[in-house]
Amino acid sequence: MTETVTDPIAQSNNPRQKVIMSGFGEPEPVLDGRGMFEYGYCPMMQDYYEYPFDIDAVSKLYRATSHHTSALITKRNVLASLYKPHPKLSRQAFIKLVTNLLVFDNAYVQVVRNRLGGVLELRAKLARNTRKSIIGDGYHHVDFRQALIIEYNEQVIHISNPDIDQELYGIPDYLSSVNAITLNEAATLFRRKYYKNGAHAGYILHLSDPLSTPEDVDDLEQAVQESKGAGNFKNLFMYVPNGKPDGVKVIPLAEVAAKDEFANIKIASRDDTLAGHRVPPQLMGVVPNNAGGFGDAKKAAEVFYWHEILPLQNMLLDINEQVGETIITFNGYELVKSD
């Protein structure tokens, strides 16, 4: 009979070995683009119809990226520069009206009349708080923060672009590029956390030298985790008795590729965003990536006016017909001639 003898000293000198793998960082969720316009119809809420898209999400999307915001402001500024102020509709009220039309594709004007039926003032209302009544052709003011619903007694004019699924509200055309907008925002937020948290693109800490005990491995893992976050770029001291030159390695995970991919994502999402708005990049101060540039800015501005600004002006001029008085007028479009 053979007896196996286990040396307790040798067993203590060779502790149970294990592979340590640890991941750092949590996945960051981004806004789901489909959730903004997945209704396909106008839900009935008490006495009014709700929008066929998430108007709160679209409102937050307004300031998501610089290219999205700048494209909307470019159209707004061109329209405001051509508008002729009227005593019954000031320039500031007109800018408010145009901003709601561009962002939500729904603009509302409250017509205030005197006792004889004459127009005293045109008031631009917030599209976010205005809903169409279920009964009749009236409109309601809805304020969810105060649980307030008020029906307008005065005439309310509603202008919007037609939709293919319903005929009550307009839906912004740029929602087709909402994924590009949120991708651009996500890339920027990732880049901010890249520097703020010190996590960077990630790495593998490869340790081949045998440590004394598993507790030493746990201490090293904790030290690595505490070296990131607020007050990042800390130095880490590690001592391994009788260690080899390559016993501890830090292997980056495609760090250079991550930097290049960030730039490509920003450029691709920017181009998709501008395509959704149909705004030439040279009118928004976008720096070209090639030596040839974007072409003649003057010609691009002229095409932009005839294809984008003029149709918006015609929509706004329809308000005059419904009011019965010419209040909204525009100056002719002409670029400053260079010497």
DSSP 201-246: T-EEEEE-SPPSSHHHHHHHHHHHHHTSSSS-S-------TT--TT
Question: What pLDDT does residue 90 have?
Answer: 94
Q: Per residue in 220-232, is it b (16+ CB within 10 Å) or e — as a string? A: bbeebeeebeeee
For residues 173 and 77, give the distance between their C-alpha atoms in angstroms, rounded to a whole number: 19
Closest CA to 263 of 193, 203, 195, 191: 191
Helix (H) or strand (E) holding 141: strand 139-143
Instruction: Provide the residue-wise pLDDT of the chain in tens; the chain has 339 residues.
Output: 444 444 544 444 555 555 445 554 554 444 454 555 567 788 898 889 999 998 998 999 898 888 899 999 999 999 999 999 999 999 999 999 999 999 999 999 999 999 988 999 999 999 999 999 998 889 999 987 767 788 888 899 999 999 988 899 999 999 888 888 888 888 888 777 766 665 454 566 667 666 656 777 777 777 766 665 555 555 666 666 666 777 777 766 555 455 557 778 888 888 888 888 999 988 887 877 777 778 888 889 999 999 999 999 999 999 999 999 999 999 998 886 554
**Burial class (CB within 10 angstroms; exposed 0-12, middle 13-18, buried 19+) of 208:** exposed
Give the residue from 62, 192, 182, 172 showing the smallest Cα distance to 106: 172
Residue 244 burial by CB count (10 A; 0-12/13-18/19+): exposed, middle or buried?
A: exposed
pLDDT for the residue numbered 282: 85
Residue 328 has a pLDDT of 96
Query: In whole angstroms, what is the distance from residue 60 CA to residue 71 CA?
Result: 16
